[in-house]
Structure 1
């Protein structure tokens, strides 16, 4: 499958969000429910639908710049969908996504781990690059997107608790010694979001130093990939 065509121009049409939603729905229909990619895809689809509703209706505080919010949302989704396309074609995906692709059918990995590993890859790596992509598209600096970034982040954080509740395997998670409880406590979406904003600002500042920016991006990718591998540690029943 060809890499997603990059959307260009100063403004992104509203149907751009509809397009990525259609891709995610089609992907979900094609995958077995227990597949690790399918688990994350369901989570991300619900997040993207919530963002789309907030853009359309002004929910969650609204978005000061609707076009900027749409552009960021589409650029963000493109990163995930392109990684999936790479896996389908047998092309080497970014390091942040490789653990999920590798362990997606492992019987010892629980659905909540799949969801968090995908969120880790998408927030920890893709979100920073999506902010820079949006800056290039709209010819602006990251500071111009801070309100949109924060509102998208607020929606993600508000959905995290619901995701954990839906995918919790049972009351044993109340036990501090449970291995999954330990894994859950070792990662925070809010901290990952803060890191993504700092990384986006750094990458934008390095835009005139392409070799340094490329090295920074590579290190970010591999570091997020290591966290993802930890989150996908197979656990006993």
Structure 2
């Protein structure tokens, strides 16, 4: 299977669902934000990936698509809350105060957004999907890997579109260090471990909420470091 199998098509004559509804909401956010600022940079990259993958998707099993859609919906909920002036999860907040910082580059905004999406949204999406399908995290391991393929495509898009060329970026440039210090694969591994732990804590609501908050804060800390001004 390929990355495009994360997003279902709407039924004949029906309203947009799944990935197509995700696309509509991302486009609405793009229209309301200045390009090149904060979450808008991540949203633009994410939208390009989803627009590229969803239209080619044929009929698919609802269960196979659910995790990818739940993950996207977690991001959209945070972004729409921020756009409305509300308080999004802690992991997304670092992108707001420095959205116009002259020494924070678009690549940093995008990677910080990807970190929040993997370190927080993906974790909760696994738990959401387990509740919906009445299954255990190991039952979703294959779907988790397929979502990981889409996230890898997103990371590739971010690097292709936003990474300065070698003529502009010296090896000693602080941005080079920041980019190389974050690894999507390690972030995904941590997200999978966190999701399984959070699922096991579901019978202990107070502990589960504390763990969720710690996960959110940890993702935010890494995201804030990725936004360190470079020049």
TM-score, scaled to structure 2: 0.87
Distance, in Å, in 1 between the alignment partners of 2:32 and 2:44 is 12
Which residue does the alignment assign to 1:7? none
* Pair 1:53–1:189, CA change in 2 (3 A): farther
Name segments (4+ residues, structure 1) moved above 4 Å: none
Structure 2: distance between partners of 1:155 and 1:233: 27
Q: Distance in 2 between matches of 1:227 and 1:133?
A: 24
How many aligned positions are there?
Answer: 218
Q: Which residue of 2 aligns with 1:171?
A: 166
Q: Is the 1:173–1:181 contact (alpha carbons within 8 Å) kept by the matching residues of 2? A: no
Q: How does 1:1-237 map to 2 (within 5 A)?
A: 14=10, 15-50=17-52, 52=54, 56-57=57-58, 66-171=61-166, 175-236=170-231
Unaligned stretches of 5+ residues in structure 1: 1-11, 59-64
Compute the RMSD of aligned alpha carbons: 2.1
Distance 1:51 1:71, change over 3 A: farther
- Distance apart, 1:172 and its partner CA: 5.1
**2 CA distance for matches of 1:79 and 1:86?**
11
Which string of whole-angstrom CA distances, capped at 9 and with x for unpartnered residues, describes residues 2-34 of structure 1?
A: xxxxxxxxxx98422211110001211222212
Unmatched 5+ residue regions in structure 2? 1-7, 11-16
1:51/1:152 contact within 8 Å kept: no
